[in-house]
Amino acid sequence: MDISAPKSHPLIGQKCGIAVKAPDLRIIGGREAKRGSWPWQVAILNKHREPFCGGTLLTKSWILTAAHCVRRKLLIRIGEHDLMSDEGTEQESRVIDSFIHPDYDADTVNNDIALLKVKHPFFLNNFVQPACLPSSTDELEIDTRAIILGWGKRKDTAFFGTDHLHQAEVPIVSPEDCRENYEDYHISDNMMCAGFKQGRVDSCAGDSGGPLLYQKNGKWTIYGITSFGEGCGQKGKYGIYAKVAKFVRWIKKTIG
């Protein structure tokens, strides 16, 4: 394998990272996504059927999300766009098993990654498709523009999230710049930062667990998992994401 040109990796030979409805590429400062353009995005619902986190479909039965999103009783909904409307494309399945990374630290939020397995595999169609995984050596270069998704708050002062799935484009930030702006936090090598120095465009509460994506060789690949930040879109405070490449071996071993 030529590690100088890492490729996006599907699981178990499946196709991945292809949206039948191409996203409009012209979250805070973001815009409403085109319905069906992010078919791997899932909404994670609590026992009261309230959406509170996001996630990414990797196979028909497995979802990648943040460790801090894991609860005892969870429901996964995919093919979703408007949370308040039954659009006929949604599928739901109950989580029967969850795997939090063994090195997850709730205090430092290091290794904030988890896998969820659903009881009934999802049916793949135009609105339900898996995203690709990067290789374990594949990391995005500084200033690369990536996409973040979610139904989270549009601004820090909002009480509720947005009903419609939103997307935003954010640049990857160097670890040095990120650490300089987060002196009270330990930004580990298993984390990555993205956002604008002036703020405004960012992930926010309710976006947690959702993906940071980049189109690699024509396939949408998940490079980050929305983890935490200080406020939402605050000046000099970037979004922090679990760096997926660091966990690819664990993901594949867990899924089997």
Annotated active-site positions, please? Answer: 68, 112, 208
Alpha carbon distance 90, 111 (integer Å): 30
Alpha carbon distance 161, 220 (integer Å): 25
Helix (H, G, I), strand (E, B) or coil at 219: strand
Alpha carbon distance 238, 249 (integer Å): 27
CA–centroid distance for 126 within its chain: 20
Instruction: Please count the other Cβ atoms lying within 10 Å of the Cβ belonging to residue 152.
Output: 28
Reported as half-sphere exposure (CB side, CA atoms, 13 A), residue 20 has a value of: 10
> 90: buried, middle or exposed (CB in 10 Å: 19+, 13-18, 0-12)?
middle
Name the amino acid, one letter, at 92.
E
Q: φ and ψ at 155, to 5 degrees?
A: -150, 160
